[in-house]
Amino acid sequence: MNVEDLLLQQAAAAVTALYDAQVDEKQLQLQKTRKEFEGEFTLVVFPLTRISRQKPEETAEAIGTWMLENTAAIQAYNVVKGFLNLALTDAFWLGHLQTMRGFSDYGMAQPSGRTVMLEYSSPNTNKPLHLGHVRNNLLGYSVSRILEANGHKVIKANLINDRGIHICKSMLAWQRYGNGETPESSGLKGDHLVGKYYVLFDTHYKEEVAELEAKGIDNETAKKEAPLLKEAQEMLRKWEANDPAIRSLWETMNNWVYDGFETTYRDLGVSFDQYYYESNTYLLGKETVEEGLAKGVLYQKEDGSVWARLSDFKLDDKLLLRADGTSVYMTQDLGTAIERFRQFPDLKQLIYTVGDEQNHHFKVLFLILGMLGYNWAKDCSHLSYGMVDLPSGRMKSREGTVVDADDLVAELDEQAAVATREKGKLEGMSEEELQKLFRMIGLGALKFFILKVDPQRRMTFNPEESVSLNGNTGPFVQYSHARIQSLLRKIPHSMEDAVVTDQTLLAPERSLIALLNDYPRIVKEAGTGYSPALLANYGYDLAKSFNQFYNEVKINDPQSPAAQVHFRLALADMVGRVVKSCMGLLGIEVPDRM
């Protein structure tokens, strides 16, 4: 039984003993005690006054007195208005530390039997991954690990958006201006090469629009009538008609991009269990739309386009097939969702990790799936997240003003090298070991800085701030882990029977043990809310508390009894284990030396 459950059980028993009333433990409110008051846990008493028929302070005093007399774990209590603050005994915390140390997978839940598919990344094959994609990938991968820690079987899925007008733009620009250039001939990664031509298309397209405007054509008409755009639209129609030459070019350029993506994924430390391709699923989506039309669930306009009527939901109707028969994003997403539930009959939940600009899209997607008779539509959800800005402002893919993911990783490697070398504790490490360390710290900086922000918040990424060894950063937490490992290497000790329960705890020691106790709850809450930020900020708090403990307590004081030294080393070891576990759920490695 964890600490919170024990206290809730005893509080419920107190209510029964004092007021001859039964209360469900789930209805009791227990929270962490605020730092300005003594105690570790606080029982909110106000809701219980309807049972006690006493003032909040009187009710809290009565319950506190009963719990102190009947709960060996409680050493004291104090009342602040309707709040009962409870302080636990040193012996209890020491015993609880020993219990926590007995779990090799402390904080992890038992298997739930629940299968969840989590989609993330989902890039377009017309450009390399950039900083916005990085947040998507890091968020999705971390949430997958957190859901696994909560006992679920997780299928990590990547939907490759490999067809559509944006893909044709890159293809057309390469045809026009590429002169046969390849990744091998240019020395560019395949995704970078294709992205170069996506930007080039936009450059020439804008020139054509400007020329049309110079002839007196208004801007909106010029954008639609520009020859390059019309040619790209024609290329898309040929692709859907399986034109051999267009299909061959499409496969060649997409394969360049796939190779580039895999390199970036490997460098970011993310992976997938299942790949889907829009080029395969959009046809199933078209079939689904046609079936819905035949059943009268959907309707067709005079121009032949097919729509979903959403007026009952107070939303605008949604286009599903254009007048020329080509599909839209919604069509593809319908087909992909259906394919996934067919492929995995035991699937209990499907989660889409996509930016918040698509909130409306997914609301409509789930509504249409329900309209089409798929009951599992209620098991679909959207993990929405805010965009990433730079200190200089917003990124724009078409204009080539994005922060490339590969360049970002390389830059952070360099900054991590500078910051770590300045620390000057790298003696005896080979160049290969140093490069591995710098990559670990650089990636840790990137991942932590992005994941510590609540997913729903828009954020500004500052590379220089992210690699700092001080403050709420990944390198600070990594350094704390390395400090613990250094401490354990330097002081001879045995972890056998290292915790003795008749010691007096200092405040930093109690604080650390209480924080370690929080870890399973934080893992559970992060899984429920799909929020790595809870774990990132917990990891920082734990590292910060350890450093306070390290600075205030002489761990290897010659005047201290051996049992006390061994206890403090055991406490440090447990902190190191939880820091490593916590950071691992964020996809971050921690070094033993730094």
CATH number of the domain encompassing residue 543: 1.10.730.10
- What are the pLDDT digits (tens) for 211-261? 999 999 999 999 999 999 999 999 999 998 999 999 999 999 999 999 999
**pLDDT class of 496 with cuts at 50, 70, 90:** low
- Structural domain total, the chain: 3
In whole angstroms, what is the distance from residue 265 CA to residue 134 CA?
Answer: 9
**pLDDT class of 463 with cuts at 50, 70, 90:** confident
Which H/E stretch holds residue 556?
none
Residue 593, in any domain of the structure? no
281 plus 426 within the same structural domain: no
Residue 97, in any domain of the structure? no
Do 223 and 155 touch, CB atoms closer than 8 A?
no
pLDDT confidence of residue 499: 63
294 plus 438 within the same structural domain: no
Residue 514, in any domain of the structure? yes
The domain boundary residue, chosen from 43, 64, 88: 88
Instruction: For residues 464-488, give the mean pLDDT.
Output: 93
Residue 402, in any domain of the structure? no
**pLDDT class of 560 with cuts at 50, 70, 90:** confident
pLDDT confidence of residue 53: 96
- What are the pLDDT digits (tens) for 79-121? 999 999 999 999 999 999 999 999 999 999 999 999 999 999 9
195 plus 235 within the same structural domain: yes
Percent of the chain surpassing pLDDT 70: 96
454 plus 568 within the same structural domain: yes
- Roughly how many angstroms between the first and final C-alpha of the chain, as a whole number? 37
336 plus 457 within the same structural domain: no
pLDDT confidence of residue 498: 61
pLDDT confidence of residue 392: 67
Residue 499, in any domain of the structure? yes
Range of the domain at 60: 3-88
Q: 3-state class of 121 per DSSP?
A: coil
* Pairing relationship of beta strands 318-321 and 306-308 according to DSSP bridges: antiparallel
pLDDT confidence of residue 321: 94
What's the burial of 280, exposed, middle or buried (CB within 10 Å: 0-12/13-18/19+)?
Answer: middle
Highest average pLDDT, of 54-58, 127-131, 281-285, comes from: 54-58
171 plus 270 within the same structural domain: yes
pLDDT confidence of residue 497: 52
Whichever domain contains 37, its CATH number is 3.30.1360.70
pLDDT confidence of residue 309: 97
237 plus 368 within the same structural domain: yes
Q: 3-state class of 197 per DSSP?
A: helix
365 plus 417 within the same structural domain: no
Instruction: For residues 516-545, give the mean pLDDT.
Output: 97
> Does the pLDDT value for residue 411 go beyond 70?
yes
Lowest mean pLDDT among 81-90, 483-492, 507-516: 483-492
Whichever domain contains 180, its CATH number is 3.40.50.620
157 plus 71 within the same structural domain: no
228 plus 155 within the same structural domain: yes
Residue 16, in any domain of the structure? yes
Residue 455, in any domain of the structure? yes
The domain boundary residue, chosen from 389, 421, 453: 389
**pLDDT class of 399 with cuts at 50, 70, 90:** very low
352 plus 413 within the same structural domain: no
pLDDT confidence of residue 401: 54
Instruction: For residues 55-73, give the mean pLDDT.
Output: 97
49-53 long-range contacts, Cβ below 8 Å, gap at least 24? 49/82, 51/15, 51/19, 51/21, 51/23, 52/15, 52/18, 52/19
* This prediction's pTM: 0.92
> Does the pLDDT value for residue 267 go beyond 50?
yes
The domain boundary residue, chosen from 356, 389, 422: 389
pLDDT confidence of residue 313: 95
In whole angstroms, what is the distance from residue 182 CA to residue 253 CA?
Answer: 9
pLDDT confidence of residue 424: 66
297 plus 418 within the same structural domain: no
Residue 529, in any domain of the structure? yes
